[in-house]
Amino acid sequence: MKLEQIINSLLEQDMYKFSMGEAIYHQFTDYKTTWSFKCRNTDVHFTEEMVDEIREQIRAYCNLRFTDEELEYLNAVQWIKGSYVDFLRLWQPRFDDFEITTDGPCGLAIETKGTWLNTSMYEIPTLAIVNEVYFRMAYDYKQLFESFKQRLDQKVTALTTGADGVSYTIGAFSEFGLRRRLSAEAQELAVKVLSEQDYHGKSTFVGTSNVYLAKKYNLSPVGTMAHEWIMCVGQGNHKHNPAYSNWYAMDAWVKEYGIMNGIALTDAITTDCFLKDFQLTYATLFSGVRHDSGDPFVWGEKMIEHYKKLGIDPASKTLLFSDSLDFERADQLYAHFSNKAKVAFGIGTYISNDTDVPALNIVMKTTACNGMDVAKISDTPGKGMCKNPDYVEYLKRCIDWRMKHDR
């Protein structure tokens, strides 16, 4: 490797991977998935040297193992069961599950295949590695890091004392930027600085999705479920009608966690279809819902009205916003919704990779489960990813039929 090792602990992982991982371990151990990398930036190219470095960094990541201290930390998380921690004691990433080549329009192609238990865990470290390799090798990293620190200082000032007429109030917020961070150094600096501030009652930094940093800085590790959970549970069984993916996913989640760890993701196959299954039982058991695509104001009002129709006080539920947020947008959403419901924010790239150059728009998504295509049909066109357009059309037809027939 030409760079220092980027991932140095298996806790450098988003918390929702462990939340989903436990449920996968107990309920879906035989599921197999394929994951595919995609760079949405049209002006980005990875050189062969970068691809070689990414390959070696992933190889180094695959040599890591959980330490006893790390496992003790996970075991202390309220909803994590000891049986899953014992599994992690034996678990290790497998480099043989990766295929890394120079194919593709951006000069980099990554695909992973294997058990869902394994491949689910690869997404976040892989994206973190790709980001850091790119920014360290394509730019003068020291200059980028200086611009990152300057912008971080401005953000902190806007949240605390205010300056130049800019002052934000956003309530509870978490850092969600591991997958798209500039570097491990940058993300840790941001988390450290944000955790040390006095927000004078206007905002509260509640934690980070990065479990390693949560442990290091005594913060809450934050994260429930991702789209993969709904896609694989709902679409990975050929007996399931994929328009009912949310029901299957929520049913399995409640079997695992009951009323704990319950923020439901609404937009895997559109929020309108989600609401068909988010009826009284699940709306009561889940403590709130997460927004990740579409107009957040329209979505929030829709969720509030849905809770009211069910006879549930929206003020008792959390609206968690996590789609491409900055502090200005969060301030607007908080002002609009804070007197109607509990409001929280998961803020990623804006905190972990805001520099003088644009951040990468890269993803690694589940494209197959048990040999079958899976897809996401979000509330924002273009956010989905599926290798088979015929399956996307089939899924859309299933959703449309259900919506028209009110089933």
The full set of domains in the chain, from first to last, is: 155-352 (3.20.140.10)
Q: How many CB atoms lie within 10 A of CB 137?
A: 16
Stretches in the chain below the pLDDT threshold 70:
407
- Please spell the DSSP secondary structure of 179-224, one letter per residue: GG-S-HHHHHHHHHHHHT---TTSEEEEEESBHHHHHHTT-EE---
- Max Cα-Cα span within the chain: 59
CB atoms within 10 A of CB 40: 13
Three-state DSSP class for 337? Answer: helix
Tens digit of each residue's pLDDT (9 = 90 or more) over 289-327: 999 999 999 999 999 999 999 999 999 999 999 999 999
First-last CA distance in the chain: 55
Look at residue 176 in the predicted model and tell me its pLDDT: 96
Bridge-based pairing state of the strands 318-321 and 342-347 = parallel
Q: Quick one: pLDDT at residue 380?
A: 85
The structure tokens 């419901």 sit at 341
- Contact between 364 and 123 under an 8 Å Cβ cutoff? The reply is yes
To the nearest 10 degrees (0 to 180), the angle between helices 82-90 and 15-27 is 100
Distance CA(361)–CA(350), nearest Å, equals 12
331, β-bridge pairs: none
- Return all residues near 300 (Cβ < 8 A) that are at least 6 apart: 291, 319, 321, 333, 336, 337, 340, 341
Task: Copy the structure tokens of residue 380.
Answer: 């924002």
User: Could you give the C-alpha distances from 9 to 92, 114, 185, 326, 358, in angstroms and in order?
Assistant: 12, 22, 14, 28, 28
Counting every residue written for the chain, the total comes to 407
Query: What pLDDT was estimated at residue 31?
Result: 98
CA 195 to chain CA centroid, nearest Å: 21
Residue written as token pair 């944000």: 194
- Measured between alpha carbons, how far is residue 42 from residues 20, 27, 141, 350, 354 in Å? 32, 39, 22, 20, 19
- Phi, psi (rounded to 5 degrees) for 204: -140, 120
Give buried/exposed letters for 97-115 (b at 16+ CB in 10 A, else e): bbebeeeeebbbbbbbbbb
Dihedral of the alpha carbons of 122, 125, 126, 129, in degrees to the nearest 10: -160
